[in-house]
Amino acid sequence: MDLNDRIPNNVNLSEDKRLQRALEKWLPNFLSWWHDMGPEGFQQKDVWLRTAVDVGSEGWAHFDYVKMPDYRWGIFLEPAEPDARVGFGDNLGAPAYQEVPGEFRNALRRIIVTQGDTEPASVEQQRQLGHTCPSLYDLRNLFQVNVEEGRHLWAMVYLLHGYFGRDGRDEADALLERRSGNPDKPRILEAFNQPCDDWLNFYAFTMFTDRDGKYQLSALAESGFEPLARTCKFMLTEEAHHMFVGDTGLSRVVRRTAQLMKQNQSEDVRRSGGIPLEIIQKYINFWFSYSLDLFGGEISSNSADFFAAGLKGRFKEQDQYTDHIAAEGSFTMQVADNGKLAPREVPLRNALNEILRREYVKDCEKGLARWNKALADEGLSQRIYLPNIRFHRHVGEYAGHCFDLEGNLITKEEFAAAKSEWLPTTEDREYVRSLMKPVTEVGKIANWIAPPATGIKGKPFEFEYVRL
Ligand SMILES: [Fe+2]
Ligand SMILES: [Fe+2]
């Protein structure tokens, strides 16, 4: 792999002149999008970044100072497996699709475009955060996440250009035209139109929303469309760091709040410049519920079709299941029916969104356990938690109904009356924003967050991660 290539890759791009030309034509459009919508104010600074240079668990990344516009956004796929087969669905055991099967073309394009759209969207959402970083370490992590979301966009654009001809090229262009939060041309999924304008939002976003990405990519890493499976497997390697940033970021905020509560013998840490647990809880409620929506409806014929076609599997389909056809069996879930919750039995294939969502929830709970340990370590009895999966939903069975944090069906009026206790209010957001003053001295950190346990890649926290 040559870092000096215009488009570093491990897909023999130079042997496919037509594709290479198409991507080289898209490259300046990507750079102009990055210039307009990427991190604001730091484009000419040296940032200590990792760049993907290969696949595989060891030695896949190169760390050095880079100016972000000079970052090498490459195309990397995990190596092909010899004799790969479709691993689930109606075509179980057939040779894996190396080209797009005509009958699944629209479905596959939709899957790839929807995934692809989230990548630039998150960069847009986070573009102002650099101005208020709590430390150089955090600033670097923000930019690392941003450049890698850019690379994930490349990963999806490679598939669109490489496998979908004319309409793939059009979709690739449209990925650079939609804008997060823009009422006329919004991003496809709602979580990606929500503002992410303070660092508590950023950590909650990378914890909960990037983690949805992990589960979507894991389901697509099982895909019978082999180029997609191989692409997603490698994206997951990078995604792990994004979730680390969110998980440890929130953990550090909780720890610092706990320290301030203990020091002052008071739950109200506002006077000492901390973020009250109650506000942290509301941010969790907000981002967790929006991220749950990203899995789609509980009862979904799309999920059944994607599975039947061998396009999108279950989490760890090969490791966790023996029946890869899933044509029989059912899944029971609670749905709102005539003003009360009642169980409904759904054919298994139609419940796959919900099954993937439940895997995600289990993973999120592990994060909560880690954060609560920070509270316990400080000798505090308060705990934070995940709201019920029915709370504050905008997609699927529970949209259009109101639920409390425990998942009990309540009236619209009851919800409206309690909303300010459950979700961030304008005042909460303003308070959090008021704390967001940049700290850019090497080794220093803002008062509202604890420093990380270690630095990045063997470097100490006191390292000049960004040269300002
Ligand atoms: Fe991503
Ligand atoms: Fe990510």
Q: Find the 239 Cα to ligand 2 centroid distance in Å.
A: 5
Average pLDDT of 147-163?
97
Q: Find the 265 Cα to ligand 2 centroid distance in Å.
A: 38
Mean residue pLDDT across the chain = 96
Q: Find the 342 Cα to ligand 1 centroid distance in Å.
A: 37
Q: Is the pLDDT of residue 371 over 70?
A: yes
Average pLDDT of 404-432?
98
Of all residues in the chain, the percent with pLDDT exceeding 70 is: 98
Domain boundaries, the chain: 13-467
Closest CA to 334 of 389, 387, 404, 395: 389
Closest CA to 223 of 410, 355, 98: 98
pLDDT of 266 reads 87
CA distance 238 to 227: 18
Q: Is the pLDDT of residue 341 over 80?
A: yes
Phi-psi region of 407 (alpha: psi -120 to 50; beta: other; left: phi over 0): left
Q: How confident is the model at residue 267 (pLDDT cuts 50, 70, 90)?
A: confident
Q: What are the tokens at 462?
A: 């006191």
CA 352 from chain center: how many Å? 19
Q: Find the 145 Cα to ligand 2 centroid distance in Å.
A: 6
Average pLDDT of 97-105?
96
- Among the bound ligands, name the one nearest to the CA of residue 155: 1
Per the listing, tokens 């890759």 go with: 9
Angle formed at CA 104 by CA 179 and CA 345, multiple of 5 degrees: 90
Q: What is the pTM of this model?
A: 0.97
Q: Find the 315 Cα to ligand 2 centroid distance in Å.
A: 18
Closest CA to 236 of 252, 223, 248, 224: 223
Average pLDDT of 323-334?
96
pLDDT of 3 reads 63
Q: How confident is the model at residue 71 (pLDDT cuts 50, 70, 90)?
A: very high
Residues whose beta carbons lie less than 5 angstroms from ion ligand 2: 210, 239, 242
Closest CA to 308 of 68, 89, 62: 89
C-alpha atoms less than 13 angstroms from C-alpha of 219 in its C-beta half-sphere: 25
CB neighbour list of residue 445: distance below 8 Å, 6 or more residues apart: 134, 135, 137, 439, 451, 461
Q: Is the pLDDT of residue 2 over 90?
A: no
Q: Find the 154 Cα to ligand 1 centroid distance in Å.
A: 10
CB neighbour list of residue 32: distance below 8 Å, 6 or more residues apart: none
Question: Which residues does residue 75 pair with via DSSP β-bridges, in sequence order?
Answer: 9
Q: Find the 437 Cα to ligand 1 centroid distance in Å.
A: 27
Q: Find the 139 Cα to ligand 2 centroid distance in Å.
A: 16
Average pLDDT of 412-419?
98
Contact 214, 243 (CB under 8 A): yes
Phi then psi for residue 403, to 5 deg, are -135, 150
* 3-class DSSP assignment, residue 410: strand
CA distance 357 to 215: 8
Q: How confident is the model at residue 61 (pLDDT cuts 50, 70, 90)?
A: confident
Average pLDDT of 353-369?
98
Contact 269, 331 (CB under 8 A): no
**Burial of 270 by CB count in 10 Å (0-12 exposed, 13-18 middle, 19+ buried)?**
middle
Q: How confident is the model at residue 52 (pLDDT cuts 50, 70, 90)?
A: confident
- Among the bound ligands, name the one nearest to the CA of residue 118: 1
Q: Is the pLDDT of residue 1 over 90?
A: no
The class of domain 13-467 in CATH terms is: mainly alpha
pLDDT of 338 reads 87
pLDDT of 55 reads 77
Strands, DSSP E only, in 74-145? none
